[in-house]
Each structure stands twice: as structure tokens, then as C-alpha cells.
Amino acid sequence: MPLPEIFTERMKSWLGTEYPDFETALGQPPPVSIRYNPAKPSDRFPDSAKVPWHPSGRYLPERPSFTLDPAFHGGAYYVQEPSSMFLFEALRQTVDLTKKLRVLDLCASPGGKSTLLLSAIHDKGFVLANEAIRSRVGALNQNMAKWGHPNQAVANHDPADFAGLEGFFDVVLIDAPCSGEGLFRKDPNAVNEWSVKNLELCSARQQRILQTAKNLVKPGGVLVYSTCTFNPDENEKNMEWLIAEGGFEHCLLQLEESWGIVEMEKGYQFYPHKTRGEGFYIACLRKKEDVQASRFYQNLPAFKQWRRLGSKEVAVLEPWIKDVGQFVFFEKPDQMITAVPESQLEDFETIGQVLSRRAFGLNIGVFKKKDFVPSHELALSLAVHPQLPFMAMDKDMAISYLRKENFLTDAKGRGWHLAKLNGINLGWMKLLDNRINNYLPGDWRIRMK
């Protein structure tokens, strides 16, 4: 792999005699790994090896066709780079995950770390996944929906727009936009786009994000910063700058020597010749308890355009929703019904007073006259009622369903059914006499032949 000359010289100066091993590693195929969804148990990849720093992470011996795997579409696992899964271990050592936590993923798309966070907090508290670039929000929405947790929100805002939420979050993650040096062997475009000028732009952008993010962490809370690069101007120097700004202290983590992670002065670096993963940097900073946070509450109704459902309407939803009493239901102006966990309602109202482009909770469907039409998100959600009718499919039938094909069936019964493969929900279909109407949304369908 031809590497930029300046990059090569810098890496040689940092790695010394290790550089030849580093260069050799960049010429090897990157590892393939997935992270299981603990809430959707699956028998996929039974012989895979464990990623040592995440209990649900697995290395695969080769890359399968994830696009043609129904379990992937049902949210049974997420295809995630192994080094980035270390986020779980960093949180395990710095945050009490048994508490109700307010968690912000400030640069979230496509959603790998946000879904990891949802599993880590075990339905206590919530995860707000934000993506500033509008074109990337669709992928984030889909991946959050597949993971199935209703205690989440997605926003589309520049980090500066969060200024009204100072001191609100227990955990703020910044997986910062970076020069991408750690992805050189996975993405040849990252090599072509590398330049010293781009490094400088990335570092400046990262400091701008951190300038806002540091104020969002509550006293005693944790800021987690990560990149997929090796450059200290984007990594350690940013952490040194933030600590020098005052109010934060570096969190030391306990590492297994066999993991091969390099402990830096302010953070931890993953190199592909030392760890079975891509280049990655992560640091955890704790906000000092004596730092004063601005008050964030405002006396503004966040859901003023949403109509709260009455008891008769909620009763219609009882056959569809597990533990219906744990949710508050709203009808939005577009008539979509949203289920908001009651335990998060006050927090979401606070966020809604500051952020305008956001979606809370779970979109479950719409009322059409006297009928309820369920959403695809409800089918994939952990909140869907377990006693609803379903059709058990084999893989070929599931692939046909995911291609949005209508097909004949000898199944008994009429009405709404879940399409299900090995216990994993894939979506809705409506059984009529000897045929099926496939309700998979068009933008979710498999297009691969």
C-alpha cells in the first residue's frame, strides 16, 4: 500500500523499530467482527472468537454477505470494528452502569457506538444520538431502530446548538471526525484524502466540538473522546488542551497486557501491529465535582404540538405493546404515534426545549379510522408484544420478505403477523386469503441480487 511520505516519516519517528511491523500490518486484510445484541439472542456465528474487551464482540474467520443475512436486518448483531468496541470497557471502568444515566453520543452516525451504549446502560436512562450531517441521519435512524431500545432519541444538530444543555449529561461521547489514519487498510480513500492541511483542519474542528462538549458534562460525569487516527495533534494534544482549560482530570484504565493496547500519557492507542483491530485512540476525562454548571431547564412546553393519547386510544394499543403502562403515547402532527418511556419523559422535554430537529422514543404506527397500522420500528422494537401472531420463516422465505416480495402461503389466519426467523422479528405482513401483503418499508428492502 503506497502511503503518504510525510505520514510514513512521522510514523517512523513515533514507532521507531516497530515501524516495519506496522507497515506489514497495513498490508494485511483487516479483521472482520460483529457485536451481538444481547436483547435479541441469536445462534449466528457459533464458532467465532471473542473480542477480549467486549463480552458481546466476536471475530469472524471471514466476511460473510451481511446484506443477505436476515439476522443482520433484524438487529441481532451490528458489524463493528473491534478496536472501537473498547468503548464498553472504558465505560465499565469509569461509569456506574447500574445507575440511570443520561448519555449523549455527539457525533453518532452510523450508530455503532450509540447501539453499544444502549446495550451498556441496560434500559436505564437514555441515549441521545446526534448527527450534524443531515444526509447521515437516515442510516443512524435505521440502526437505532434495528437495535430495538425505546429509551433513545436521535437529533440532527451542530454541537454548538447544545449550549442550552450545560451540565445535563452523565456521559458525553465524542467520536470525533478525524483524518482517518487508522482506517488506511480498510478504506483506500482515506489514504488519498490524507494531507497535513487536512490534519490541521481536523484538529481545529475537534477543538471546536470539545469546546461545546465539555460544558455538557455534569460535575462528576465522564467525557469520552475517540478517533480512528494516530496523529497526536488530533488525539493527546486535544486532551492536554482540554485538561489545561480546567475542570477535567484524566481517567486511568486497567489494561490486560495481552490486549496490546498502548498506554499514552493522556489516553490509549490501538495499533494494527499490536492489536487485532484498526487504528483507534480513546481517552476518558472526568469532570471535577466542584465545577459549576449552568441551569438548563426552561419553562417551555417541548411537546406543545403533540397530542397526548387518551385512555381509550391507549387501550387499543395494549395488544401491540408490551408493558403498555411504562409509556406515554403522543400523536404527532404527521399522525404518527410515538411511545415515550415515562421514566424519560421529563428528560426528553428538557432536550426538546433546546433542540428542534429531534425524535424521541419509538414511532409505533398510525390510527386509520378505527384501525391501528403498526410501524416497522415497532416490529423491530423490544417493546412489541410477545403474544402477537407471527409467521416462522426459513432463510429463503425471509430473504424474499426482505426483498419486499409478495408470495403465496398456506398459513392459517388473517390479519397482521410478524415475519420471524429463528426468533428474530423482521417486520410486518398482513395475511389475506392465500397470499401476503408485505409491509416492509421500501427503503429497508434488500436490493442485492
- Catalytic residue IDs: 228
Helix (H) or strand (E) run with residue 338 in it: strand 336-341
Cell of 57: 464482540
Long-range Cβ contacts of 325-333 (<8 Å, 24+ apart): 327/150, 327/361, 327/383, 329/364, 330/303, 330/306, 331/306, 331/307, 331/367, 332/305, 332/306, 333/305, 333/306
* 234 close to 178: Cβ distance less than 8 angstroms: yes
Residue 106, number of CB atoms within 10 A of its CB: 25
- In sequence order, the β-bridge partners of residue 33 are 59
Cell of 423: 426468533
Nearest to 362, CA basis, from 382, 390, 346: 382
CA atoms of 224 and 207, how far apart (whole Å)? 14
- Specify the pairing of strand 358-360 against strand 336-341: unpaired
